[in-house]
Every structure is written in structure tokens, then in C-alpha cells.
Amino acid sequence: MRPRPLRTLAPLLSPVLALAAACAGDDMSEGSATDTGGTTTATTSTATSGATTGAATETSGGSASSTSDTGTTDTTTSGTTTTGTTGTTTDDPTGTSGTTTGGALENPDNRFGMGLVIPGDSEQIGLSANLNGAGAGIRLTFPGITKDMHEAPADWKQAAQMAYDADQVPVIRLGPPWGDRKVRNQSDDAEHLDYSALAQAYADVVASLPKRDGWPMYIEVHNEPNLCYEWTCDPGDGNDGWLGYQQTATEYAHMLADVADALHALGDPRIKVLNGGLAPGGAVECQCGGEDFKPGVTSIPFVEAMLTAVPDLGDKLDAWASHPYPAQGEGWGFFVSYQEPDWRAATGLLYYKKELEVIGDLPVIITETGWTVDPNKGAEGNRDQVAAWTKSAYEEVWLVEPEIVHVLPFMLKDPSWDDFAWVDAGGNHYPVYDAVRGLRCQVQGGC
């Protein structure tokens, strides 16, 4: 069945507006998946090392346009002051946290956004701002947190500040170092259920990041823990060589609860806590010390197991992060077309609603979604078709469904994932970039 058509957004009291109002109360304060004959399989995560060098390659269909517009936002960082479009941040030369002043959140109903696989630089943040406009979300990827870390690195602070200066709302994916996903080993107990020290590290790092008056900062705690390589285990560490999803969900639920409590204990209503978005298709069991896994389960039983472990987990979250990639089934059949007459990808695009049925009534930030053009990953479309399908996804789902705060497609730019990218290595726009920007300008009454 076709989702209901696009309607005006003006009457909606969007989740963004509600969360922005909460901020003002304090002095204006992976993955892609593979289809194996209709069964759910563990997915290939869209988390990467965030490399930003190397040549991008057109995978199929279309060609990159010559446009290389990095936007109109002028961000300058020098010494003690960072000046953006609407405010100035007083900070010290060492880059410790500060608070930007200059007005409340602009365009609080702006659901557009973009995902980055790096902390963020001036080029990519500028491209995102040009694409999505003021008040849009931007997912910044900060890898490297451990329980002995108590200060954000300078590049994380700079990225958060640049996002605010570009009038973008930072949605920070905060997680372990690249190549080390043994998060359970950061626990304070042998059962891997107490993450107090790691939670304090999260709080200390987030507290050290710059903030902006009246603007939220979302913290996404880890990424796709229902995938084996995102929550790895050592053999013999409380297991028989395999870790079942129920145990992984239990451990992650306790970790998420501890981090949420620590972040809320900071007393800053601008800080909003998200779960790590789950892969729609996950693993039943993961081999400890190896790379084998047993597929066959969606994220829904994983969420149920999380709530069994921590029944009030939903109450600790400010919004729900979801990865509803376009698919013809729940956890399988990804990257199919989204067009008349059958709208085949609708099941996947609306999959987040299945998660909400379990976790409860929460606003939703889609922290990953989108199409690849790589046929080896199941792609059915070329660059031009992906542009049309993505535009339709905004018109039919993402700008219509009332739970959605921001949509942060995977991903803007990275040579390792150019088949998902919206611009090439040189910053030239792929068709999807211009199609969505045109829609955004239409929806917002101009650019």
C-alpha cells in the first residue's frame, strides 16, 4: 500500500519543536543488509574508518555533476573566538568547551539532515548546510572513547563548533575506537553489566564539547550493537565461544542506561540521549574471537531483550535512533525501488515504527538510511534513479510521518562508501544532492 501523500508540514507540532522547547527551558538553553532468499542476515555495517582521501569512483549510472558548492556558511576559527552565521563563541585557545550565543534554534521543524563518517570538517559541514538549510541535523562520527578518556579531542570540539556555526544541529555518534569494538571489556564487572566508569567518560567528554544556547546536542551511544563486529567478545569470557543476541542486548542495555544516566546527570537540557541505531537485520549468535556468525533475527527481538534487561530503558532516552534502510521486507531485500505502482521499499523505510511498537512512544532520528548504487550490495538503481527514489522517500515518508525529527542519510562523502555518497571526492554533487536540495528549498519556501 502506498504511504499517504505529502501534506503541508505547518500544522504538525513536530518532535523537533518539542525538543527545542525543552532546550529553551534552561535560560534558552549499519547498516546495509544482504538478502538471502528472504531470511534476515547479519548486515555489513555502514560504519567505516572515516577515511577522506583517495579517488571516488562512479559505481553505476549517471555521472557526477560539475557543481561544487560548499554552501554559504562562512565559518572562521582563530584563537579564542569562532564566529558563525548567528553567534559568537567565547573560548580559550586550548579549545575547551564554551557556549555559543546568538539566538534560539532556527527552523525547528527542519527534518532534513546528513550523515558524515568523520568528525566533520569545514568542507563537509558546509556542503551539508547548503544542502539542508538552517536547523537541519548533521551526524558527526566521533570514534575513540574509552573509560579513561575525560576530555574531547580538539578535532571533536572544532567539529561540534563548526556544526553550530553553520546552523546545523549536531547528532554525535560517540563510540569506541576504530578497530576495537570490545565495548563489553570496558565494563567494571565480570558480568559486563556495570559501565559506570565508561558512562562517566561519556559525560566528561560531552561536557567538554561546545554547546549553543537554545540548540540541542544529540548523543548517539555507539552504533549497531546487534552486529557481531560492533559488539565483539573474547572466547571464554562468560561464554562457550559464542555470544547470543540476548546476552549482547542485555549488556548493551546496561551500558546505554548507565551512559544515559550519566549524561542526564550533567543537568544540561540541551544534551539529548539516543540509543545506537540498530541494523534492521542482525545476528542470532556471534563467534567470540572469530568472524563467524549465525544470521536470522531482526532488531525487534534485540530491543525486546534490551527491555527485559532494563525495563525502564525507554524512559532514559530522549529520542530513538533508527536505521530504516529501504527494503521490501523486514531485515531483508534492501535497496529496492521506491516508485509507482508498488513502492517496494516502503516496508524498510517505515521499519522504525516496528521498533517504536516495542520501545515506546519516542521521537525518532533516522541516523542512517539511503540507497547504494552498487549491484553487488543489491542495488537496483543508478544515480538518477536513487535521486528520484530518495526525493520520493522525503515526500511520502520522511516529511510526513509525525515521529520523525531528522533524517540523516548515510552518507555525504567517503571514497570507501562512494556507492552511498551524495558528493564525489572533489565535492561535486551527485544527482541525489541536487534533487533533495531542490525539494528542501521548495518545502521551506526558498533557499
pLDDT in tens, 147-159: 999 999 999 999 9
Instruction: Give the model's pLDDT for residue 181.
Output: 92
pLDDT at 52 > cutoff 90: no
Q: Phi, psi at residue 371, to the nearest 5°?
A: -110, 145
> d(Cα 331, Cα 257) in Å, to the nearest integer?
26
For the residues 350-373, what does the mean pLDDT come to? Answer: 98
Sign for the CA dihedral angle at 31, 125, 166, 395 comes to: negative
Question: Quick one: angle between helices 122-132 and 431-443, nearest 10?
Answer: 50
> d(Cα 212, Cα 326) in Å, to the nearest integer?
34
Instruction: Give the model's pLDDT for residue 108.
Output: 77
In SS3 terms, the chain reads as CCCCCCCCCCCCCCHHHHHHHHHHCCCCCCCECCCECCECCCCECCCCCCCCCCCCCCCCCCCCCCCCCCCCCCCEEECCEEECCCCEEECCCCCCCCEEECCCCCCCCCCCEEECCCCCCHHHHHHHHHHHCCCEEEEEEEECCCCCCCCCCHHHHHHHHHHHHCCEEEEEEEECCCCCCCHHHHCCCCCCCCCHHHHHHHHHHHHCCCEECCCCEEEEECCCCCCHHHCCCCCCCCCCCEEEHHHHHHHHHHHHHHHHHHHHCCCCCCEEEEECCCCCEEEEEEECCCCCEEEEEEHHHHHHHHHHHCCCHHHHCCEEEECCCCECCCCCCECCCCCCCCCCCHHHHCCHHHHHHHHCCCCEEECCCCCCCCHHHCCCCCHHHHHHHHHHHHHHHHCCCCCEEEECCCCCCCHHHCCCCCECCCCCECHHHHHHHHHHHHHCCCC
pLDDT over 90 percentage in the chain: 75
Name the least confident of 39-53, 111-125, 354-368. Answer: 39-53
Residue 27 CB partners (closer than 8 Å, separation 6+) = 213
Instruction: Give the model's pLDDT for residue 148.
Output: 97
- The CATH architecture of the domain made up of 15-47+83-443 is Alpha-Beta Barrel (3.20)
Instruction: Give the model's pLDDT for residue 95.
Output: 40
Judge contact between 40 and 281, C-beta under 8 A: yes
For the residues 7-15, what does the mean pLDDT come to? Answer: 34
pLDDT at 120 > cutoff 80: yes
Instruction: Give the model's pLDDT for residue 293.
Output: 97
CA angle 173, 72, 384 (to 5 degrees): 70
Length of the chain: 447
pLDDT at 319 > cutoff 70: yes
pLDDT at 139 > cutoff 70: yes
Instruction: Give the model's pLDDT for residue 17.
Output: 41
Instruction: Give the model's pLDDT for residue 98.
Output: 65
Name the least confident of 44-53, 252-261, 277-286, 434-443. Answer: 44-53
pLDDT at 116 > cutoff 80: yes
Residue 357 CB partners (closer than 8 Å, separation 6+) = none
> d(Cα 171, Cα 313) in Å, to the nearest integer?
20
pLDDT at 284 > cutoff 70: yes
pLDDT at 31 > cutoff 90: no
Question: Quick one: angle between helices 431-443 and 383-393, nearest 10?
Answer: 30
Cis peptide before 341 (omega within 30 of 0): yes
For the residues 209-225, what does the mean pLDDT come to? Answer: 97
pTM of the predicted model as reported, rounded to 2 decimal places: 0.82
- Per-residue pLDDT of 172-205, as tens digits, reads 999 999 989 999 999 999 999 999 999 999 999 9
> d(Cα 103, Cα 358) in Å, to the nearest integer?
37
Model confidence at 294, in pLDDT bands (50, 70, 90)? very high
Name the grid cell of 117.
Answer: 563518517
Average pLDDT, the chain: 84
Judge contact between 108 and 135, C-beta under 8 A: yes
Judge contact between 427 and 127, C-beta under 8 A: yes
For the residues 382-403, what does the mean pLDDT come to? Answer: 98
Residue 291, number of CB atoms within 10 A of its CB? 9
- Per-residue pLDDT of 78-112, as tens digits, reads 332 333 444 444 343 334 456 765 567 776 789 99
Name the least confident of 55-59, 285-289, 379-383, 391-395. Answer: 55-59
Residue 229 CB partners (closer than 8 Å, separation 6+) = 45, 181, 291
